[in-house]
């Protein structure tokens, strides 16, 4: 609308305004600003930005080994981010995902412990049971946050954080206490027998099964959110809780369901971290994927396919930055700086766009 | 009286000082209607900047001022994004919590192991001579004394002055306050900036007094979230908030005392245990707000109902009505 009006009398300022109000160009500007900011941060610490970006890029993509590691880490991040689509759509901040991943992993390992020493159980069935246990554990943990919000009036951000801390406590208690391997207490449990590992590509950490589950998760979520009546109802609840309630949608039930769906993805993430990657239960198994997933989700604006792409970029940054410590003696937290400032500048540009659009509307009316 | 007991009770007040600055800062920020969710990151970034500024200039004053400036800048950024760019305060706050934490660890990494500066204790003459209470309360650092003063000043400012009335007004009914002549958005900027500066001072206390700067191993990651929880727990009231802070520190302290008594439990369990306790306490102060509680109560006999609702009301807190809602004057 605006661009049409301004086309009639082109001048430099309207070209500039168009740049700021167009979604694609404003996203591009946000990326450039985030890169400029990151360069400044790197210069403060007296390092060469180009060298830093080179190390990050080659750390993520220089060899097939590096790429498989990126893909391996993409699996938990994309599952976490996809799960968060459900809560974001319902207008909820599931900051408790980190704990849901941990509890999922704990439940999954609990099942494995039952069958670890039995030689009769078929590995395929045990692995399926493990996944189910993870999903159930994660969704129950998420449901608790939802119930605290719904019946206790506790904001989901604080309820979620509380349950994250509780999950941490449970994890620490188990791996240093009853579940510690005989003799040592190093923050992880006994390793799974090889028969219970999800098959990996020989010589790498990547399991095609895990990758397949992640891709399947993206597809299913896209279908549920975009193509079903159920997805539409969750969206209605998120957009306007009060009017959906008046329209006859049981809003609190949909809120709880979206928490549970999110928790299922979190729990699966935790179970996969055990069966496909670590092969033990250990502290820090959630790996910050829940927290990072929230950033991915904010950028992706509830688009499952976009989520998958952004998750890939983010995890490549994280994996690539891990090499900074070895090559340049820099702290690997730089990846967090890049990810955070990127989201921040996208929010800034979105704000600028809103302000300009509103002003133009006002000018036309007045 | 056992001198080690006195010094350990005394250290509870020292440990609580950064939490109190954070809680008071967040309390006045939220009372004005702005939610600063970035605390966990801004606390760590201001701790890092305060540490670097103090150790390179060899001046505590410069360290604390720099930390306050950092905390204030982050808070003002949230105010700007919310008031002028109409973005969600929760989204901006969360992003900043993540980004500033990473920034602190990245920029602060070279300073890990730099020479440590710890704020000296300055006993107050006469008052520190009082038996028992004296050495506990009045043999502290200047900033700990300031934390006592800040509680009182915040209380008086909010509840006993005209300015405090306006503060409550812009958080509860901004449109009504606007009609009565309050510049809502400018006041929100001011209170958010001051609140952020107080958070910054709290951060510097972690790196210059209670603990020191050790990069990712500094050990105060997570406290920012707890401060946000204590603010709610305290019902946006400075004195209740301060009591919540002391309670949290006592929990932490009890963990340290219990540790040797329960050697089978890993020490890290005791370190994280206060966090869930604190946040579950939120359930009790919030439960009275839920609809189903009122519905259930309505079915109970009159005298039981009256007692229960009295208890619930005593515990209940409710947030400033316009918290997180941007103000626009039509």
- One domain for residues A261 and A287: yes
Query: What 3-state DSSP class applies to A90?
Result: coil
Q: Do A165 and B275 touch (CB under 8 A)?
A: yes
Q: What contacts B43, CB < 8 A, 6 or more positions away?
A: B18, B22, B71, B199, B202, B203, B206, B220, B223, B224, B227
For residue A2, the model assigns a pLDDT of 47
For residue A5, the model assigns a pLDDT of 47
- One domain for residues A213 and A268: yes
Say yes or no to pLDDT of B233 above 60: yes
Provide the mean pLDDT of chain B. 87
Say yes or no to pLDDT of B259 above 80: no
In a domain? residue A52: no
Q: Do B84 and A355 touch (CB under 8 A)?
A: yes
pTM: 0.90
Say yes or no to pLDDT of B7 above 90: no
For residue B279, the model assigns a pLDDT of 64
Say yes or no to pLDDT of B268 above 50: yes
A356: closest CA of chain B, how far (Å): 10
A252: closest CA of chain B, how far (Å): 12
Q: What is the pLDDT of residues B143-181, one digit of tens each?
A: 999 999 999 999 999 999 999 999 999 999 999 999 988
CATH classification code of B3-315: 1.10.3470
Span B267-287, average pLDDT: 68
Q: What is the pLDDT along chain A (366 residues), one digit of tens a residue?
A: 444 444 445 566 778 788 887 888 888 999 999 999 999 999 999 999 999 999 999 989 998 889 999 999 999 999 999 999 999 999 999 999 999 999 999 999 999 988 877 767 788 888 999 999 999 999 999 999 999 888 877 788 888 888 888 898 899 888 888 888 887 777 788 888 888 888 888 878 888 999 999 999 999 999 999 889 888 888 888 887 778 777 777 888 999 999 999 999 999 999 999 999 899 999 888 889 999 999 999 998 888 999 999 999 999 999 999 888 888 888 989 999 999 999 999 999 999 988 888 888 776 654
Encode A305-330: b = buried (16+ Cβ within 10 Å), e = exposed.
Answer: eebbebbbbbbbbbbbbbbbeeebeb
B117: closest CA of chain A, how far (Å): 22
Q: Judge contact between B188 and B181, C-beta under 8 A.
A: no
Overall number of domains in chain A: 2
CA distance A319 to B260: 40
Q: Check which CATH number belongs to the domain holding A237 and give it.
A: 1.10.3470
Q: What beta strand segments (E) does A8-92 contain?
A: none
**Is the pLDDT higher at B276 or at A342?**
A342
DSSP line for A20-36: HHSHHHHHHHHHHHHHH
Residues of B (276-315) whose Cβ lies below 8 Å from A: 276, 278-280, 282-283, 286-290, 292
In a domain? residue A57: no
* Structural domain span for residue A131: 64-329
Provide ipTM, 2 decimals.
0.89
Q: Judge contact between A304 and A222, C-beta under 8 A.
A: yes
Beta bridge partners of residue B193, listed in sequence order: none
Tell me which chain B residues have a C-beta less than 8 angstroms from the C-beta of A95: 94
Say yes or no to pLDDT of B296 above 90: no
Residues of B (241-270) whose Cβ lies below 8 Å from A: 264-266, 268-269
Residue with tokens 């706050």: B93
**DSSP class of B318:** -
Tokens of A95: 């900051």
Say yes or no to pLDDT of B271 above 70: no
- One domain for residues A317 and A358: no
For residue A178, the model assigns a pLDDT of 85
DSSP line for A183-228: S--SSB-PPPPGGGSPP--TTSS--HHHHHHHHHHHHHHHHHHHHS
Consecutive H or E run containing A338: helix A334-365
CA distance B168 to B241: 16
Tokens of B238: 């400075």
In a domain? residue A58: no
For residue B291, the model assigns a pLDDT of 67
CA distance A297 to A80: 9
Encode A14-39: b = buried (16+ Cβ within 10 Å), e = exposed.
Answer: beebbeebeeeebeebbeebbbebbe
- CB-count burial class (<10 Å; 0-12, 13-18, 19+) for B90: middle
Q: What contacts A106, CB < 8 A, 6 or more positions away?
A: A137, A167, A170, A171, A174, A270, A281
Q: What is the pLDDT of residues B14-26, one digit of tens each?
A: 999 999 999 999 9
For residue A199, the model assigns a pLDDT of 84
CA distance A335 to A309: 17
Q: Do A344 and B99 touch (CB under 8 A)?
A: yes
Q: Do A351 and B85 touch (CB under 8 A)?
A: yes
- One domain for residues A41 and A135: no
Q: Which residue is closest to B83 within chain A, CA to CA?
A: A351
In a domain? residue A59: no
By Cβ distance, the residue of B92, B110, B286 closest to A152 is B286
- One domain for residues A300 and A356: no
Q: Does B227 lie at the interface with A, CB-CB under 8 angstroms?
A: no
- One domain for residues A121 and A204: yes
Q: Judge contact between B54 and B63, C-beta under 8 A.
A: yes
**Is the pLDDT higher at B178 or at B114?**
B178
A114: closest CA of chain B, how far (Å): 24
CA distance A79 to A72: 12
For residue A4, the model assigns a pLDDT of 47
- One domain for residues A32 and A69: no
Cα of first residue to Cα of last residue in chain B, in angstroms, is 65
* Substitution target from B216, B272, B284 for chain A, most A beta carbons within 10 A: B272
Query: What 3-state DSSP class applies to B139?
Result: strand
- One domain for residues A99 and A31: no
For residue B289, the model assigns a pLDDT of 66
Tell me which chain A residues have a C-beta less than 8 angstroms from the C-beta of B283: 148, 152, 154
List alpha helices for chain B, DSSP H.
3-31, 39-57, 60-83, 89-108, 133-137, 142-160, 162-172, 174-179, 184-205, 223-233, 238-258, 267-272, 274-286, 291-298, 302-315
Q: Phi and psi (nearest 5°) for A23?
A: -60, -45
**Is the pLDDT higher at B211 or at B294?**
B211
Q: What contacts B56, CB < 8 A, 6 or more positions away?
A: none
CA distance B2 to B49: 38
For residue B8, the model assigns a pLDDT of 81
Tokens of A151: 């019946």
Question: How many other C-beta atoms lie within 10 A of the C-beta of residue B192?
Answer: 29
Q: Judge contact between A152 and B287, C-beta under 8 A.
A: yes
Task: List the one residue out of A246, A252, A219, A220 whose CA is nearest residue A234.
Answer: A252
Q: Does A189 lie at the interface with B, CB-CB under 8 angstroms?
A: no
- One domain for residues A25 and A76: no
Consecutive H or E run containing B122: strand B121-123
Q: Judge contact between A80 and A125, C-beta under 8 A.
A: no
CA distance B38 to A149: 21
By Cβ distance, the residue of A155, A177, A344 closest to B264 is A177
- One domain for residues A30 and A140: no
């Amino acid at each position: 609308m605006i661009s049409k009006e301004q086309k009639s009398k082109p001048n430099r300022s309207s070209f500039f305004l168009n740049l700021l109000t167009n979604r694609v160009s404003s996203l591009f500007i946000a990326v450039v600003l985030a890169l400029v900011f990151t360069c400044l941060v790197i210069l403060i610490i007296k390092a060469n930005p180009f060298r830093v970006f080179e190390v990050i890029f080659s750390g993520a993509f220089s060899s097939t080994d590096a790429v498989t590691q990126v893909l391996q880490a993409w699996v938990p991040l994309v599952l976490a981010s996809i799960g968060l689509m459900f809560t974001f759509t319902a207008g909820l901040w599931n900051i408790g995902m980190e704990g849901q991943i941990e509890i999922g992993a704990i439940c999954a390992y609990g099942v494995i412990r039952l069958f670890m020493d039995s030689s009769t159980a078929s590995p395929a069935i045990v692995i399926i049971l493990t996944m189910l246990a993870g999903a159930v554990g994660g969704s129950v943990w998420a449901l608790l946050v939802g119930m605290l919000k719904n019946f206790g009036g506790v904001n989901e951000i604080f309820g979620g954080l509380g349950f994250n801390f509780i999950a941490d406590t449970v994890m620490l208690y188990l791996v240093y206490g009853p579940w510690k391997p005989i003799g040592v207490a190093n923050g992880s449990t006994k390793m799974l027998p090889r028969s219970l590992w999800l098959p990996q590509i020989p010589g790498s950490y990547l399991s095609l099964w895990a990758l397949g589950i992640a891709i399947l998760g993206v597809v299913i979520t896209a279908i549920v959110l975009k193509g079903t009546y159920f997805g539409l109802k969750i969206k209605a609840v998120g957009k306007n809780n009060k009017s959906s309630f008046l329209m006859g949608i049981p809003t609190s039930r949909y809120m709880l369901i979206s928490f549970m769906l999110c928790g299922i993805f979190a729990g699966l993430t935790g179970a996969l971290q055990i069966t496909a990657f670590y092969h033990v239960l250990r502290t820090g198994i959630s790996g910050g994927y829940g927290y990072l997933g929230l950033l991915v989700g904010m950028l992706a604006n509830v688009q499952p396919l976009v989520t998958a792409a952004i998750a890939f970029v983010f995890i490549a940054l994280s994996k690539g930055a891990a090499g900074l410590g070895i090559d340049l003696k820099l702290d690997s937290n730089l990846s967090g700086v890049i990810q955070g400032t990127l989201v921040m500048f996208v929010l800034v540009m979105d704000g600028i766009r809103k302000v300009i659009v509103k002003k133009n509307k006002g000018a036309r009316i007045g | 009286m056992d001198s080690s007991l006195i010094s350990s009770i005394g250290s509870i007040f020292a440990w609580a000082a950064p939490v109190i600055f954070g809680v008071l800062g967040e309390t006045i920020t939220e009372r004005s209607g702005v939610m600063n969710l970035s605390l966990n990151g801004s606390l760590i970034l201001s701790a890092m900047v305060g540490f670097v500024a103090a150790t390179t200039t060899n001046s505590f004053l410069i360290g604390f001022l720099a930390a306050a400036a950092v905390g204030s800048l982050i808070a003002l950024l949230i105010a700007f994004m919310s008031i002028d760019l109409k973005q969600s305060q929760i989204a901006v706050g969360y992003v900043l919590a993540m980004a500033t934490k990473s920034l602190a660890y990245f920029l602060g990494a070279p300073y890990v192991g730099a020479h440590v500066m710890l704020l000296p204790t300055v006993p107050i003459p006469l008052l520190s001579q009082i038996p028992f209470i004296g050495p506990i309360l009045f043999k502290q650092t200047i900033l700990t004394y300031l934390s006592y003063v800040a509680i009182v000043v915040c209380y008086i400012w909010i509840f006993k002055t005209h300015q405090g009335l306006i503060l409550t007004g812009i958080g509860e009914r901004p449109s009504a306050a606007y009609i009565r002549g309050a510049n809502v958005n400018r006041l929100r900027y001011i209170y958010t900036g001051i609140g952020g500066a107080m958070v910054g001072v709290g951060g510097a206390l972690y790196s210059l007094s209670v603990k020191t700067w050790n990069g990712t191993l500094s050990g105060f990651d997570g406290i920012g979230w707890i401060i946000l929880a204590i603010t709610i727990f305290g019902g946006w009231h400075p004195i209740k908030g301060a009591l919540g802070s002391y309670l949290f520190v006592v929990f932490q302290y009890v963990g340290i005392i219990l540790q040797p008594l329960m050697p089978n439990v890993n020490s890290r369990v005791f370190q994280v245990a206060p966090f869930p306790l604190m946040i579950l306490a939120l359930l009790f102060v919030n439960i009275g707000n839920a609809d189903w509680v009122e519905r259930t109560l309505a079915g109970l006999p009159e005298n039981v109902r009256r007692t229960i609702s009295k208890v619930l009301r005593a515990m209940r807190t409710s947030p400033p009505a316009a918290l997180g809602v941007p103000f626009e004057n039509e």
